[in-house]
Structure 1
């Protein structure tokens, strides 16, 4: 059986929270056009934590935007929780973002005039859904914010504000939480706390998380790391550790001679299979296929 045939079989047997199939996205037109995503295929199984990494301009943020329906690809298909996003109109996309997606950003994006509890409940109110007060309080208590329910964002530290944003993203039990540099504005201890919370949401709560980050320490909290360069997936790694992630990022950031290729990472048992993500996606606890 060929690798492609095997990957197709694996994909068909696996339930995925998110699938991108041959997604291409260009910015600009004519001679100045830039291909941000170049026929990218990626499958994310439910209940996994995937980090997307690469140099600045590699396409990782464009990937997140297309995967979340915040931007439309020029070609290809995006399926989230069984819903095709690329053909959906804006009303349907808005509904899906409210009901099936959660978002955590570097800048927290909390409403300064609302309390912690009100900020967490806000997406449910926008969606016209009933807010379960005990559920909100219980979630915040688990995140170490049980005594901050009535505080405003300005009364919290950066790490506490990011935990509020995580609670807001997870309250509705979305199919996927998209995290865009969630630790970028935090100090080392606060960043570690936030990453631990995201890790526990996957391990204990079965949440699916896709995180864009440039930080090798943050990437090491994931089940798998997908590396981007020039709009393409160039490598992947399971069971990542900070040193291995940092080494791979260093290779991606090294200037490549004209006509050359990105330096390849060695294949290590139980760790990396080059090109495998394009064929089938990320499997938790095993190789990328």
Structure 2
């Protein structure tokens, strides 16, 4: 397997060229005979201002990896560093603040509040954090995402692609250093999915952010700078400058796209 910067020994300082550094992650569920190891001594480093796709067969551990990297779950052992901050050393309050202030999240289920309008959904995190929300910036963001005519609409009045764009606007308005996306196109048609992927790609190319995306779709993965492949709780391979065909071939070798 060709080694790349994604598989090199991670840097651990605040001046690291990597935005997210995972070292020796172990995560298990259950106990006794039912104990299952989901992550087994995983070390990865995601470069700043990069777009990385994480892929693997069902049950390979890729979603658990994302949850631990984003501070949404805690590993049993190992280290998670984001922008030089050690997540595993933070208490729950400090971890919540870090997620709120430095990280963005985009999920397949959108996670919008159904009773709130588009405008209210995107400003909610800032208001909960006690931050002043710049209404002009909100309008500009929603306009650029093609949502200016839907400011007062509620999620049920929007298409799936529009709802996902609202969730991306919400993530971007917090000025995150890193955006974690878990199957962001999984519930969308091909056109809406392409729009969402373009927005994530643009957040790296022009916004200088780092995106880590779990996906099962080779076409989605081809939008990334690199793909990290998971199998049986370990990093199995990596691929720079992916295409849909090369990604699909690697996935077939690992047990198929599921």
Smaller-chain TM-score bracket: over 0.9
Aligned position for 2:164: 162
Aligned position for 1:132: 134
Aligned position for 2:226: 224
CA separation of 1:11 and 1:245: change in aligned 2, threshold 3 A: farther
Give the alignment partner of residue 54 of structure 1, picking from 47, 56, 60.
56
- Per-residue deviation at 1:42? 0.7
- Per-residue deviation at 1:11? 7.8
Aligned position for 1:268: none
> Deviations for 1:158-188, whole angstroms, at most 9, x for unmatched residues?
0000000000011111111110000000011
Alignment of structure 1 residues 29-48 onto 2, 5 Å: 29-48=31-50
Number of residue pairs matched by the alignment: 251
Q: Which has the larger radius of gyration?
A: 1
Give the alignment partner of residue 99 of structure 2, picking from 77, 97, 100.
97
- Per-residue deviation at 1:9? 9.2
Alignment of structure 1 residues 205-220 onto 2, 5 Å: 205-220=207-222
Aligned position for 2:84: 82
Q: Within the alignment, does 1:111 sit opposite 2:113 as a pair?
A: yes
Gapped regions of structure 2 (runs ≥ 5): none
What is the distance in 1 between the residues matched to 2:60 and 2:9? 27
Aligned position for 1:70: 72
Moved over 4 A (4+): 7-14
CA separation of 1:11 and 1:246: change in aligned 2, threshold 3 A: farther
> Deviations for 1:51-70, whole angstroms, at most 9, x for unmatched residues?
00000100001101111111
What is the distance in 2 between the residues matched to 1:188 and 1:103? 21
> Deviations for 1:230-268, whole angstroms, at most 9, x for unmatched residues?
0000100011000110111111116xxxxxxxxxxxxxx
Give the alignment partner of residue 146 of structure 1, picking from 145, 148, 156.
148
Gapped regions of structure 1 (runs ≥ 5): 255-289
- Per-residue deviation at 1:45? 1.4
Aligned position for 1:17: 19
- SS of match in other structure, 1:86: helix
Alignment of structure 1 residues 160-199 onto 2, 5 Å: 160-199=162-201
What is the distance in 1 between the residues matched to 2:166 and 2:26? 34
What's the TM-score once normalised by structure 2's chain length? 0.93
Give the alignment partner of residue 203 of structure 1, picking from 193, 201, 205.
205
CA separation of 1:36 and 1:8: change in aligned 2, threshold 3 A: closer
What is the distance in 2 between the residues matched to 1:239 and 1:62? 25
> Deviations for 1:96-151, whole angstroms, at most 9, x for unmatched residues?
11111111110111111111111011111111111010111111111111221111
What is the distance in 1 between the residues matched to 2:226 and 2:38? 22
What is the distance in 2 between the residues matched to 1:30 and 1:9? 33
What is the distance in 2 between the residues matched to 1:10 and 1:82? 9
